[in-house]
Amino acid sequence: MNYFVKGNPDLCIGCRTCMIGCVVAHEGKHIFEVDPDSYSFNPKLHMVKTARLSVPVQCKHCENPACMAVCPAGAISQKDHCIVIDTDKCMGCKSCMDACPFGAINMTVQTGKFQADGSEKKVANKCDLCYGLPGGPACVRVCPTEALTLVTEEKLGEAMEHKRMEAARNTYRETHPQE
Amino acid sequence: MKKEIGSFVVGDSTKCTGCKACEVACFTVHNRKSNHVGNTVGTVTVPVTPRLFLTRFDQGCMPIQCKHCEDAPCLNACSKGAISRIDHQVIVDAEKCIGCKDCMQACPFGAIALLPYAKDGRLVAQPMSEEPKVFASKCDLCAGIEGGPACVRVCPHQALRLVDPEAEREEKNIRAAESLLLTKDWR
């Protein structure tokens, strides 16, 4: 099973530290110490704030990803419990953006790369669970209210098993009220 | 919010009946001024050159058209500089196009066809050839045409949709965030 990061709207205070953590991890720069023009601020998760809630939304790393199915360039693939985009193969056709039901993919400028007419190259951008980076997803690590969790197959499996046992116990109690 | 990426039209094969009204409407609106095409068949004196292509496949049919890619392979492949990005959309300059077919080969969707080029109700001839001049015909999202994409407007089954990708993404984000409220006690 693919892993994914999940936000809890009850704990999230909308501080956007996750977005900054994401950019720092992927840019490999301490962004507050360098020239703002020397890096791209392209977080791979999106803070949603409505009257009811605040929570970041990011890729669910689906098991049958619509984005992967629709990509004409073969730029989206599954690797080590993760759905990743090869930005060198991506041509910015936006098919994945249209296909994703969560709005987890946006198009971002690839710094220093240009099209034939001199305009900036834009490619698909989404959570890669900090693929290849040490320490696991940066957003989870930096969140001050611990509102983000990396959900693994093991954790989800345990939770489901736990819920099934509870359901079985409750049913048993109903049929054996005297015990 | 400032628009930063191109829009595009997509077809829905579950609604499309293959009537080609989209192709006809596309040709009509693009040739009203340049070729005096009106609302009746009698006004058409030039070949019908659509910019989207009704496509039949095993499971049904739907029109296929340009996605206005953000790193457009057609634009990058054009040696003549005939394809450019104007107001975030990928636009072919039919006058500049020399029909080299590179853009057709670069496009992964088959969204470009080489079709005869007509002006003032007549095919444009070229020297030393019996064949008329052609141009790379692809969707320009009805740039400069009032009312937006004609294909979307004319489809009798609402099988075509104009996509503003960033606006739709933000709406989907909100729905995804709200569903996190329902699953927050997943443990």
pLDDT at position A179 over 80? no
Name the CATH topology of A4-175: Alpha-Beta Plaits (3.30.70)
- The string of pLDDT tens digits covering residues A67-119 is 999 999 999 999 999 999 999 999 999 999 999 999 999 999 988 889 998 88
DSSP structure string for B61-83: EEEE-----TT-HHHHH-TT--E
Residues of chain B neighbouring A116 (CB-CB closer than 8 A): 75-78, 81
Closest in A48, A93, A156 to B67, CB measured: A93
- Is A96 in the B-facing interface, judged by CB distances under 8 Å? no
- The answer to whether the Cβ–Cβ distance between B187 and A162 falls below 8 Å is yes
pLDDT band at B1 (very low <50, low <70, confident <90, very high): very low
Closest CA to A22 of A126, A105, A117: A126
Contact B56, B67 (CB under 8 A): no
* Cβ pair B126, B132 in contact under 8 A: yes
Q: Determine, for residues A93 and B174 on separate chains, whether the beta-carbon distance falls below 8 Å.
A: no
Cβ contact B71–A72 (<8 Å): no
Q: Report pLDDT digits (tens) over A154-167.
A: 999 999 999 999 99
pLDDT surpasses 50 at B105 = yes
What whole-number distance in Å separates Cα of residue A103 and Cα of residue A125? 11
Ordered by start, the domain boundaries in chain A are 4-175
Measured CA to CA, the distance from residue B122 to residue B45 in angstroms comes to: 7
Distance CA B103, CA A84 (A): 28
Q: Which residues of A touch B71 (CB under 8 A)?
A: 90-92, 110, 113, 115, 121-123
Q: To the nearest whole number, what is the mean pLDDT of chain B?
A: 95
Q: Any CB–CB contact under 8 A between A48 and chain B?
A: yes
Give me chain A's average pLDDT, please.
Answer: 93
Residue listed under structure tokens 């240009």? A114
Is the CB of residue A103 less than 8 Å away from at least one CB of chain B?
yes
**With 0-12 CB in 10 A as exposed, 13-18 as middle and 19+ as buried, what is B1?**
exposed
Minimum-distance CB partner of A107 among B70, B85, B187: B70
Taking the C-alpha atoms of residue B54 and residue B159, their distance in angstroms, rounded to an integer, is: 12
Query: Cα A107 vs. chain centroid, distance in angstroms?
Result: 15
Q: Nearest CA to CA, how far is A179 from chain B (Å)? A: 27
The residue-averaged pLDDT of A28-47 equals 86
Minimal Cα–Cα distance from A97 to chain B, Å? 7
Asked if the ipTM is above 0.95, the reply is: no
A159 neighbourhood in chain B, CB within 8 Å: 186-187
* Pairing of β A148-151 and β A4-7: antiparallel
The arithmetic mean of pLDDT across residues A38-61, rounded, is: 94
The string of pLDDT tens digits covering residues B154-169 is 999 999 999 999 999 9
pLDDT in tens, B10-68: 999 999 999 999 999 999 999 999 999 998 889 999 999 999 999 999 999 999 999 99
